[in-house]
Amino acid sequence: MENSLKLNLGCGDNIIIGYENIDIKPVSKDVRLGDFKNLNQLNIKDGSVDTILAHNIIRYLRMQELPNILTHWISKMAPQGLLTISDIDVDMLADNLRASNIALPDFNVLIYGTPGSIPCLGLYNLDFIERMLCERGMTVETRSYDGYNFFLTMRLA
């Protein structure tokens, strides 16, 4: 789709051409200032988004706010729209820590951040996120792991 709206939420410095790159702390003129928790403030209309990328941002959501934010994102999606979420999988992270595949200082940085960074507010696993999205009318396109991260792409029915 030539005029499709694609969002790269909480993009940081991962700027993708052809996407509306959105971050609360824009790193360049190619990034639009905005909070991924509230797409209404960006005047994004319901049913208008073909693709949403949410890489490494779910961990900044508390368990209590996650359901409403996922529902909010889905409300912005066009029929057959895609939502891709990737982040730390708490089960895989624990397995990697137990197997000494990740050093404890690195583990702590993942959870608590570095000075001046936003700390992790919630840890989830792929199955939990998938179940929440299925309950909201989405179907699985792809699911995978890489180390302690999960990758999930869902399609709106």
Residue pLDDT, tens place only, 114-142: 888 888 999 999 999 999 999 999 999 99
Distance of CA 75 to the CA centre of its chain: 16
CB 1 within 8 A of CB 81: no
pLDDT score of 153: 98
Q: Which domains does the chain have, with CATH numbers?
A: 5-156 (3.40.50.150)
* The model's pTM: 0.93
